[in-house]
Amino acid sequence: MKEGELVHLIDKKGKRYQISLKADSSFSFTRGTISHDDIIGLEEGSAVKSSLGENLLVLRPTLAEYISKMRKGSQIIYPKDIAAILMLADIFPGAKVLEAGTGSGALTMALLRAVGSDGEVVSYERRNEFLEIARKNIDTFFGKVESAGGSGKLVFKDKDVYEDIEEKELDRIILDLPEPWRVLNHVEESLRNGGILLCYNPTVLQIYKLSKRLELKYAKSFRVMGIYEVGLREWEIKGRSMRPEHRMIAHTGFIFVARKCSSPDS
Ligand SMILES: C[S@@+](CC[C@H](N)C(=O)[O-])C[C@H]1O[C@@H](n2cnc3c(N)ncnc32)[C@H](O)[C@@H]1O
């Protein structure tokens, strides 16, 4: 583990503490104090002992773990849905993807990883304070990735996507905002043929309105490919107890997928 790295310290019960490693600093919690210097130089997966004798596991957080801990401005998309979105929108290395709105940047991070160094993510957000939160979240996890000039891997735009999409020939457009039907005219212009539009919305009324608008106004440009909901149930396996967890994240959102086609009726 190196100075500057983000680390999760995990106790026996699974409680996590997130720290950024800094020489000459220390971390205090109810079970004692740990010097960062005791962690710097350790191999990931080792344990570190607090001043009160508590052992904590030292691991770099996965993206899903980091997303659960990071600062949230807006409601984020949960990792279970992000996983499905990456597959249903078929995000591939080298893809040019537009998302709106950025929110806290949870989906942005997963998109960035999936498009890789040859791809590009353009992220529209109309509330500047959320862009700032997302920027900090992303910088903390990846280091600074944004290119101010607009030609880099991640481009933030402080813009209302209902008004316009400037980019053309996009491979994928992902919308996580309240009225996706208000973006359809821009999506029609900006998505390449064969490109995928994916919308994420919490209520079925939003999905209904979106599909109706597509059917009535954009039937010549889009074919709906599917509407999905993701359920992920964790299990507890402890000694002789093997059963589903009592609690689970139930409904979060619907995933709506359409493709732009020149002959969607064929
Ligand atoms: C639910 S949040 C997005 C969360 C994000 N996907 C994440 O995983 O962190 C919705 C965001 O869309 C933004 N938004 C709503 N309407 C918008 C618009 N017309 N143009 C750009 N952003 C918009 C909101 O300000 C809010 O930050």
126 CA distance to ligand 1 middle (Å): 7
**Measured distance CA(97)–CA(154) in Å, rounded:** 10
Q: Closest ligand 1 atom, CA of 161?
A: 20
- Same-domain check for residues 88 and 128: yes
- CATH assignment at residue 29: 3.10.330.20
Q: Closest ligand 1 atom, CA of 179?
A: 16
Residue whose CB lies within 8 A of the most ligand 1 atoms, among 75, 163, 176, 177, for a mutation test: 177
Residue pair 59/45 in contact (Cβ under 8 Å)? The answer is yes
- Same-domain check for residues 44 and 121: no
254 CA distance to ligand 1 middle (Å): 16
**How confident is the prediction for the chain on average, in pLDDT?**
94
* Domain membership flag for residue 26: yes
- Same-domain check for residues 133 and 115: yes
97 CA distance to ligand 1 middle (Å): 16
Q: Closest ligand 1 atom, CA of 182?
A: 19
Which domain range does residue 161 map to?
65-260
Token pair belonging to 100: 């709106």
- Same-domain check for residues 43 and 70: no
The larger pLDDT score, comparing residue 253 to residue 4, is at 253
- Same-domain check for residues 124 and 51: no
Q: How many domains does the chain have?
A: 2
**Measured distance CA(6)–CA(177) in Å, rounded:** 30
Average pLDDT, stretch 121-140?
Answer: 95
pLDDT digits (tens, 9 = 90+) for 160-213: 999 999 999 999 999 999 999 999 999 999 999 999 999 999 999 999 999 999
**Which residues, judged by CB distance below 6 Å to any ligand atom, belong to the binding site of ligand 1?**
74-77, 100-101, 103-107, 124-127, 130, 160-162, 176-177
pLDDT of residue 151: 41
User: What band does 266 get if pLDDT is binned at 50, 70 and 90?
Assistant: confident
SS (H, E, C) 191-236: EEEEEEEEEEECCHHHHHHHHHHHHHHCCCCEEEEEEEECCCCCEE
* Domain membership flag for residue 224: yes
pLDDT of residue 147: 44
* Domain membership flag for residue 265: no
What percentage of the chain exceeds 70 in pLDDT?
97
pLDDT digits (tens, 9 = 90+) for 66-89: 999 899 998 999 999 999 999 999
- CATH assignment at residue 93: 3.40.50.150
Average pLDDT, stretch 128-147?
Answer: 84
* Domain membership flag for residue 97: yes
